[in-house]
Amino acid sequence: MIATPTRLAAPGRVDRRHARRSQVISLLATHGSIVAFVLWVLFLCLATTTFASVDNIMIVLRQAAIFSIVAIGTTIVMLLGELDISFGSALAMGGISGATVLVAGGGLPLAVLAAVGAGLVFGAVNAFLVTVLRIPSVVATLATLGAGTGVGLLFTKGTTIYGDGLTEVSFVTQGYIAGVPVPVLIAIGLYVVAWFALTRTRWGAHLYATGDNPQSAFRAGINVTRMRVAAFLVAGALAGFAGLLLASRLGRASADMGADALFPVLTAVILGGVSIEGGRGRVINTLIACIFLASITNGLILLGVDSTVQQIVQGGVLVLAVSLDRLRR
């Protein structure tokens, strides 16, 4: 018997198929979260009668605003290839510090300084542990997360801080300017500043270079230690400021008020395209991911989905976020 030769695909055709496959994977990895967001919004617009209303859209944006501010700092730290999970405690201490000043009659400007100062303390401690003691950032910030909760409980003696001072500044989180919630405008302003700093300044270029390859950045003359310190300080300050906004929104402050921040913030940053290994990501995509997560919670409530199922869906979103990060790498 004579064996018939196997037909082989032309090399050019194989190369084109491989190129198309690579383009699809690259598109999904880079913009997969945005595509999912658009499809989710379209589904909710068809499945509900209230999701696309102006009032509901403002509710979604307001829900996303405070945690999205924390996500800016987390994005900056992760762009360096580090990880900060202490922002829950930094947020709580910022809220406690700011609320204490307001209840004592210190006024909003002093309360902002107190909240940001409390966050800066967290950032400074994290920076010291990572850059001086050389402790891995995830371990260092896990330690400050627990320690910060303890400090908050000691400071408040396990009680809740509330009073007229907090209600007097409720316009910061409950008010509107030109029909847009004030927290949303604050978040947008901070994202514009962050976008400019990361894409239009030397500091931003150094940040990406350090996250992509710290050794090469050091040889190029970039002060890697200073970049890490700055990133943790910015993250702490933003978390502290967000804590004051959250305390104003809730009308109270307590040591556990930042407990729910860890999952949505980290998920949003990863879902937005920031690489876990550092050096890649866009801060604007982080904002879109924060809105996406808020719309998921809002949409499931409008659909009447049980809260247990909501948690399952949120876990699935985290798996999606990590999967997209694996594709990008």
User: Which DSSP string corresponds to 130-189?
Assistant: IIIS---HHHHHHHHHHHHHHHHHHHHTT--B--HHHHHTTHHHH-EETTEEHHHHHHHH
Q: Is 177 left (phi over 0), alpha (psi -120 to 50) or beta?
A: beta
Provide the residue type at 251 as one letter: G
Q: What is the pLDDT of residue 26?
A: 65
Counting the structural domains of the chain, the total is: 1
Please indicate, yes or no, if residue 233 is contained in any of the structural domains.
Answer: yes
Residue 59 lies in domain: 52-259
Residue tagged 């920076």 (tokens):
127
Copy the structure tokens of residue 42.
């379209």
Please indicate, yes or no, if residue 76 is contained in any of the structural domains.
Answer: yes
pLDDT by position in tens, the chain (length 329): 455 555 555 555 656 776 776 666 666 666 677 888 899 999 999 999 999 999 999 999 999 999 999 999 999 999 999 999 999 999 999 999 999 999 998 999 999 999 999 999 999 999 999 999 999 999 999 999 999 999 999 999 989 999 888 877 888 888 899 989 999 999 999 999 999 999 999 999 999 999 999 999 999 999 999 999 999 999 999 999 999 999 999 999 999 999 889 888 999 998 888 888 888 889 999 999 999 999 999 999 999 988 788 778 878 887 877 777 677 66
Q: What is the pLDDT of residue 1?
A: 47
Please indicate, yes or no, if residue 18 is contained in any of the structural domains.
Answer: no
Please indicate, yes or no, if residue 286 is contained in any of the structural domains.
Answer: no
Identify the CA nearest to 210 among candidates 114, 99, 78: 78
Provide the residue type at 313 as one letter: V
Copy the structure tokens of residue 176.
């509107």
Listed in sequence order, the DSSP H helices in the chain are: 11-47, 54-79, 87-103, 108-127, 137-156, 164-168, 171-174, 182-199, 202-212, 214-219, 224-250, 262-271, 283-302, 307-328
Please indicate, yes or no, if residue 243 is contained in any of the structural domains.
Answer: yes
Q: What is the pLDDT of residue 43?
A: 94
Please indicate, yes or no, if residue 40 is contained in any of the structural domains.
Answer: no
Find all residues with CB under 8 Å of 261, minimum gap 6, and list them.
67, 70, 87, 88, 91
Identify the CA nearest to 266 among candidates 95, 68, 66: 68
Please indicate, yes or no, if residue 155 is contained in any of the structural domains.
Answer: yes
Sign of the alpha-carbon torsion through 123, 124, 125, 127: positive
Provide the residue type at 116 as one letter: V
Please indicate, yes or no, if residue 42 is contained in any of the structural domains.
Answer: no
